[in-house]
Amino acid sequence: KGVLRELSRLAMAVNARPRRSLLLPLSLAALVAAWQLRVVAFLAPGAGRRGALAVAAAVALAPIQGPAAQAALGDTPWAGRYNDPEHQGCKRLISQKGLTVRISGIDGSPGCMNGFDETVKWDLKAKLESPESKELVIDFSPKGGPANVVGTWDGEGITFPDGNKWTKIGKSTMKGKGK
């Protein structure tokens, strides 16, 4: 009962809705994994198959949304493609690995919409304090800007102290380094 209580507490701590489309496959995967790995070792003596099934169900039914869970699945709120209104049509791509964030982009004059504007490619480093962090500290010094600019996630994109906002327009199709 202690293991189930702890798993239930952890599942509620994530405080998010489960993705229904993943519920059945994950339940089956957890059940198979529990059986194959003999999860019974984590249970009290004599818990048997019912105990293993209960642990597998608790693990499978844990919510799979929220920043920490998304990061574990490779889908983070930060990672993706963004629109920067100050540089229309110019690339803004964010990738994340743990607490390390990489931002790659192109600046054009006046933008990147015409295809023949002069462009400059750049890569920036940024960091998060935690997987659930709503603030991202970006080093804009490679572009000639300040070193510690705080970007804040507002649910739709990243807002900056100067009033600019990068709106998220899609998930990152790039994995790892974001190339």
64-83 per-position pLDDT tens digit: 444 444 444 445 689 999 99
Task: Look up the pTM and report it.
Answer: 0.56
Residues in the chain, total? 179
73-118 per-position pLDDT tens digit: 445 689 999 999 988 889 999 999 999 999 999 988 777 877 666 7
CA-CA distance, 131 to 127, in Å (whole number)? 10
